Structure 1
C-alpha cells in the first residue's frame, strides 16, 4: 500500500485507510453484524489499510470495541489507530477521561492519533489543547489531530499548543464536496497538516452518477474504462491526487475493501485529474 508522510513527522500512513462510521452502529450500538465487522477490519489490515479511524461516538463506543477485537491479532506496531473525542467532552478533565475510556474499549495502551471530532465554541480551544498535550506527555496518544475545523479554527488550535503540533485535519472531501479546496487545503499545505478525507465517495452518490450516466458521471465512467479501473477507484484516486491528502473510505465487504485498496499505487494523469475537477466543479 502506498504511504504518505503524516504532517511534518517522520511517520508515514497508508494513502487509503479504513473509516468505521456505521460499523457497530450509528448513534447507538448495533451488535447484529459484529462478526462480519471484525472480519472486514482484519481484511482491510491484510490489504495494507492499516490506518483505522474510529470515534467514541460511533455506535456509542461499540465501533471502538469492534476495532479492538479485530486488531488484537496483529502486531501493534504495524497499525495506525485513530479515534476522536466528541465535542461535548472538550473540557480538560473530560478529554482525559474520554481518551482513557476509548483506550479501554480498544484494548490499547495508546492510540496513534487522537482528534477533536468537532469544534465547540462554548469551550476554549486552549483548554482542550492543553489536555491533548497532556495525553501525548502521558503516552496515551502519539499525535494530535482535529476534525471538521476550518482554516481559522485550525490556526487557533495550532497556536494554542505549546510543545506539540497538529498533524492532521479530518474533513469531508470528494468530487462532489469541494468546499475545503478554497481555503482549508491550501492552509494545510502551507502549514504541514495532513488532510484526512472522509466520505470520499459522497455516500455512494458519485458512483451512482457514473452508473446513471449523468453528464459528469459519464466523464468519470469514461476515464474509469480507459484506466481499467472502477468509477469508485477513479474517484478515490482523484481525492488523494494531492500529496498532502489521504482518505478513509468505509467498507464492510471484501469486494469493496479490495476495490478501495486498488485505488492506490497508481496516479491519474494531470490531464484526467483536471478533466474530473472541471466536470464535477
Structure 2
C-alpha cells in the first residue's frame, strides 16, 4: 500500500479549497503551489467539489511540467459518485483536469448512501488498473472506520481526512487513538480553523497569542505545529501566496514545550466523552 506518512515525508501538505475560483488570483496561486513543491512539500489535496473542478484545473496547470513522481496527489469524489459507472466517470474527469494518468490517493468525500462494500470493490479495481495508487475516506467517525474494517478490502483504506485543529478536539476521544493504534494516517483539514464560524475565532485566544510571541512566529504557525505534534497526522492548510506557503513550511520546525502544550490543553480542553464528529 502507498504510504501517506513516513519518516521522510514533510508533515504539512497543501490544501486547495477555494483556490482556482478567481482568474485574478490564478498566477499567485500557481506560484504558491510550485513554491511549496520546490521547498519540501509533496502532498497536494484537492477535490472535484472544489469550485466544481476549478481547484483541480489549477493544480493541473501548476504541476504540468514537474516530476509527477515527486508529488503525492490526492483528490476526492462526491458521495453520489460512489459506485460505477459514475465513479469511473468522476475519476476520469479528475484525472483530465489534473493532467495526470493516476492519483496517489482517492478519497470518498463523506459517507454515501451507496453500500460501502460496493465503493471499496470499485476503488480496488481502479488500484489494480493503476489509475489510483491507494484510496481512503473523509469525514468518517470511529464507528464508521470500524464498520469499514469489517468489509472485505476495508483494511486497505490508506487515510481518513477530518476536521482537526486546536479548537476542535472531539475526535481525540476515540477516532485519533483508534487510527493511531492501527497505523491509519489522519489528514487534518482546516488545521488553522479556516471556515470555522463557531464563537470567538480560535486564533484570537490569548494563550495562542502569547505562545506565538514567545516563538517569534504567527498564531497560525503555532496552530499548525500543534496539529502535527502527532506522527500520524498530516495537516493540509490552504495557502494562496508564496509568503503564507513559506510560513506553513516554517511551522514544521516549531517545537512546542510540554508547558506550552499544557497551557493549550487548559484553554482548549481535551474531550472527556464521545463528541459528534465536527464537519464544515
How does the TM-score come out when normalised to structure 2? 0.88
Matches of residues 1-281 of structure 1 in structure 2 within 5 Å? Answer: 6=4, 13-25=9-21, 30-120=22-112, 122-162=113-153, 165-203=156-194, 210=203, 212=204, 217-281=205-269
Q: Which one has more relative contact order, counting CA pairs under 8 Å at least 6 apart?
A: 2
**Inter-CA distance 227–263: structure 2 relative to 1 (3 Å threshold):** same
- 1:173-216 Cα offsets, whole Å, 9 max, x none, are 00111111111101111111111000011117799655x5xxxx
Maintained 8 Å contact 1:68/1:107 = yes
**Inter-CA distance 115–161: structure 2 relative to 1 (3 Å threshold):** farther
Question: By percentage of residues, which structure has more strand?
Answer: 1
Secondary structure of the equivalent of 1:13?
coil
How does the TM-score come out when normalised to structure 1? 0.88
Report how far residue 59 of structure 1 moved.
0.9
> In the alignment, what sits opposite 2:273?
none
- 1:25-61 Cα offsets, whole Å, 9 max, x none, are 3xxxx43422222122111212222200000111111
Distance (whole Å) between structure 1 residues aligned to residue 154 and residue 196 of structure 2: 42
Secondary structure of the equivalent of 1:111?
coil
Report how far residue 223 of structure 1 moved.
1.3
Distance (whole Å) between structure 1 residues aligned to residue 117 and residue 92 of structure 2: 20
Residues paired across the two proteins, number: 265
**Inter-CA distance 205–256: structure 2 relative to 1 (3 Å threshold):** farther
The unaligned stretches of length 5 or more in structure 1 are none
Secondary structure of the equivalent of 2:188?
strand
Distance (whole Å) between structure 1 residues aligned to residue 167 and residue 53 of structure 2: 30
Distance (whole Å) between structure 2 residues aligned to residue 95 and residue 159 of structure 1: 22
